[in-house]
Chain A
């Protein structure tokens, strides 16, 4: 369908109903039939771009401003953008360990927005959920931005941690119905997951030979540990282990 539907009018020319309606159609549906197109406001209702959350201090988060791609978001139908850094308020992330959800908040009379953390994930009319982080009681960890720009997306499969030991095959159904293009296997020595994580690329087999432990099908990620020795679960310069914990991340 031709776009725009409306055309210019001359000074003094009466505006016909069809001209008004075409103009309205251009404004609301980009000139398309309402059967074929969402309302422009509805189309952009969940728009967000240019978001990057980083640690500002141990208990505060900062939204980084890139002037070439500033944080831009639609909240409550309002088109909002920030051109200066946004930081969560002091003392808002505190107390017992919890997941905190990060909201962008629209304020009447402003074309910018503020940023507020909450232990509830529920949005309200004037808030949009933009990320989350884990507060361990003293430090913010694992910051996740829901609208990342130029960063690695969340994995399509995450096994969570599981205990590992020598001479064992672990078959994990990733549920992706295809071969993942990227699989990473991490090793940790305790259950917090916050110690040094080693990327597992090789383990040692019974003969002391280094081999990759990972196999990938369209159904499973297999991890097969070595049969005997000190590096059967991970054999890295920084750590050898025949026990500990694994976590698999996979991306399609």
Chain B
């Protein structure tokens, strides 16, 4: 069982293993899901070189980055790359994004529909090109 905290605007703030210790801000609601904590987290995972849930730092000379997208059961998923929408096609729930890393900067990739996917956890990926 996992417990989802939904904000007043219906976007998902977080998900957690307990339901009895959370102070809800005005308009927030807590809802249970029959999935386990891991199963819920794995609904959308973005990773680079197997790393997710952390800021991945890469040197600018790498030039091209392949971000791995895992979204089991879906044929596509809408993401925001530094705020720009992009739809990623999936095969058996797996897809990828190619990013150009010519210049130093920060890539922030997160789910576009945050009422469906929680941006916390492993569904948002930060890549810092140095």
Contacts and interface: CB of A to CB of B under 8 A. Distances in A.
Chains A and B are bound partners: yes
Given A165-B120, A192-B38, A230-B126, A243 B53 contact: yes
Given A168-B120, A170-B14, A241 B23 contact: no
Nearest to B46: A243
Contacts of B128: 230, 240
Interface in A140-174: 157, 159-165, 168, 170-174
Contacts of A173: 20-23
- Centre residue among B13, B51, B54, B106 by max chain A CB count within 10 A: B54
Counting chain A residues whose Cβ lies within 8 A of the other chain, the interface size class is 20 to 34
A162 B17 contact: yes
Contact of B17 (A160, A189, A230): A160
B16 A243 contact: no
A176 to B, nearest CB: 11
B18 interface: yes
Contacts of A163: 14-16, 41, 118, 120-121
B121 to A, nearest CB: 4
Counting chain B residues whose Cβ lies within 8 A of the other chain, the interface size class is 20 to 34
Contacts of A231: 55
A244 B54 CA distance: 6
A205 interface: no
B14 A191 contact: no
B15 A241 contact: no
Contact of A159 (B13, B18, B54, B122): B18
Contact of B53 (A172, A174, A188, A220): A188
A239 B108 CA distance: 17
A189 B14 contact: no
B57 interface: yes
Interface in B75-130: 106, 108, 118-126, 128
Contacts of A168: 13-14, 120
B104 to A, nearest CB: 12
B41 A242 contact: no
B18 A243 contact: no
Interface string B1-32: 00000000000011111101111000000000
A175 interface: yes
Nearest to A170: B14
Contacts of B38: 191-192
Given A162-B14, A240-B54, 8 more contacts: A159-B18, A162-B15, A165-B119, A165-B121, A191-B122, A230-B126, A243-B125, A244-B120
